Amino acid sequence: MQTKTENGTKRDLNRENILKIAREIFSKYGYKKTTLDDIANAVRKGKSSLYYYFASKEDLFQAVIMKEVEILARELEIVINRNTDPVDKLRDYILTKLATFRNLANFYHAIENDVTAVEFIEEVKRRYEQDEIRMIKRILIEGVRKNEFEIYDFNLAAIGITTAIKGLEMPLSAGNYGSVNLERSVDIILKIMCYGIIKK
Amino acid sequence: MQTKTENGTKRDLNRENILKIAREIFSKYGYKKTTLDDIANAVRKGKSSLYYYFASKEDLFQAVIMKEVEILARELEIVINRNTDPVDKLRDYILTKLATFRNLANFYHAIENDVTAVEFIEEVKRRYEQDEIRMIKRILIEGVRKNEFEIYDFNLAAIGITTAIKGLEMPLSAGNYGSVNLERSVDIILKIMCYGIIKK
DNA sequence: TAATTTTTCGACTAAAAAAGCCGAAATAAA
DNA sequence: TTTATTTCGGCTTTTTTAGTCGAAAAATTA
């Protein structure tokens, strides 16, 4: 018998392959227009075989998105661990997140017509919120330690900032991408927040 | 009452608009994945309204393709009427046709998976064949008049050349685009044909 | 080799989506 | 007002798709 780990690896490899291909197809056609047969053909398996790896189409799609989200998370982790000025860090964090999120939304045609996809992505955002708050908190704590911020309740502050970021995301989700100058909006909000935060 | 022509114009304008938008959507998703609702939404009409202008989805798709084909035909007409050396003209004709056809096939995802679309395009090719033979014949006749070609049966010669062109199209339809150097293939075939055609 | 486990798939069903139809309503023109 | 044009909601029929199941195939182990 294979050891369980070896076995798991083999299976996971297949899974990964399906995910990779499914990602391409979903990103090309969106959730609704992509059929499991499309994916099955592309991975050269029968449709039924997909169910050996994933419980449902929805499940597969979520797995694909989750993988994307992990990439985003990793990028953000890097930003956070860079040794930069806390304000810059905040700025980079927000910009990185917005940029990647825009891609996500674009990718899955979440916006135009595909209601189901939108809901998934909303769901992901919701689940991610707690992580976000934690990350922001880390930045704030670091800022205080470096004697640049002056904050009494980290939790509340982090929640407040998270909310502000949501505001920045809105125009993205709403679909008028190009029209908004992201960087500019971010700087404006940052300025406002800073004058309430930075030690005088 | 509107005059019949005015009326026709208005209706045709609507038709044209539908065609234009349908073309975009078909080219994005392919025949199968495009639904009449997609198109109807895009033109801001009810799906039923489309049936006022087109008899069926197939009908609409064919109209879209026909329009593309007309564009091709117009380009070829221009090539034919240019005052160039007959051999060059033959060469330009073939290259222009292949280039445009490649676009068509690419566009409608005719190749990958979408069986129905492939059939349509094959059908179009078939219908176009007669025109093609006629056009080639014109080039040949001109060549003889200019004392560069020596041909006894224009019809047979034109059919032969048309067949050769079909051979050039094959790798396109088969899907291995990049791999083949079109221009080179054309020149080789042309050379072969010329040494059987050109007056010594 | 035989027994066991993993993986694949064809055939099927139920549910959803799409094409297509029709009559009536809205709109525009006369 | 009358007539012609255009739109569309709601309906039926057909097609497509997600998802199930059991059995076959392939791989693994003993």
User: Which pLDDT tens digit goes with each residue over B80-89?
Assistant: 999 999 989 9
SS3 for A50-104, per residue? HHHHCCCHHHHHHHHHHHHHHHHHHHHHHHHHCCCCHHHHHHHHHHHHHHHHHHH
Give the count of alpha carbons within 13 A of B26, CB side only: 26
A-proximal residues of B, 25-64, CB under 8 Å: 29, 33, 38, 41
Closest C-alpha to A14, from A68, A57, A79, A60: A60
- Chain B interface, best mutation among A21, A31, A32, A33, by max B CB count within 10 A: A33
Q: What is the pLDDT of residue A112?
A: 57
Which residue ranges form the domains of chain A, and what is each CATH number? 1-54 (1.10.10.60), 62-197 (1.10.357.10)
User: What is the gyration radius of the CA atoms in chain B, in angstroms?
Assistant: 20
- The whole-angstrom separation of Cα A43 and Cα A190 is 46
> If you write DSSP's letter for every residue of B44-81 in order, what string do you get?
TS-HHHHHHH-S-HHHHHHHHHHHHHHHHHHHHHHHHH
- D4 closest protein residue (CA to C1'): B1
Q: Which residue has the higher pLDDT, A119 or A179?
A: A119
Write down the residue that tokens 């045709």 correspond to.
B12
Pairwise CA distance, residues A61 & B113, whole Å: 22
Nearest to B149 by CA among B164, B136, B162: B136
Residue B13's identity, in one-letter code, is L
Average pLDDT estimate for A147-159: 87
Residues B57-116: tens digit of each pLDDT: 999 999 998 898 888 889 988 999 999 999 899 899 988 988 877 777 766 665 555 666
B20 vs B104, which has greater pLDDT? B20
Q: What is the mean pLDDT of chain B?
A: 82
User: Closest Cα to residue A26, out of A97, A107, A142?
Assistant: A107
Distance, angstroms, CA A46 to C1' D25? 13
Q: What is the pLDDT of residue A163?
A: 85
From the Cβ of A175, is strand C under 7 Å away? Answer: no
pLDDT score recorded for residue B173: 56
Q: What's the mean pLDDT when you consider all of chain A?
A: 82
Q: What is the pLDDT of residues B157-174, one digit of tens each?
A: 888 888 888 877 766 555
The mean pLDDT value for B141-167 works out to 87
Residue B3 pLDDT > 50: no
- Nucleic strand C near CB of residue B55 (< 7 Å): yes
**pLDDT for position A186:** 78
Return the SS3 of B174: helix
The HSE-up count of residue A200 (CA atoms within 13 Å, CB side) is 2
A198 DSSP β-pair partners = A149
3 state SS for B106-148: HHCCCCCCCHHHHHHHHHHHHHHHHHHHHHHHHHHHHHHHCCC
Mean pLDDT of B119-124: 76
pLDDT of the residue at A1 = 39
A175-187 as b/e: b if 16+ CB within 10 A: eeeeeeebeeebe
Q: Which residue is nearest to nucleotide C16 (CA to C1')?
A: A32
Within a 10 A sphere around the Cβ of A28, how many other Cβ atoms? 15
Hey, are the CB atoms on A113 and B29 less than 8 Å from each other?
no
- Taking only the tens place, the pLDDT of each residue in A62-113 is 999 889 888 888 999 899 999 999 989 989 998 888 887 777 776 666 555 5
**pLDDT-based confidence at A180, cuts 50/70/90?**
low
Q: Give the whole-number percent of chain A exceeding pLDDT 70.
A: 80
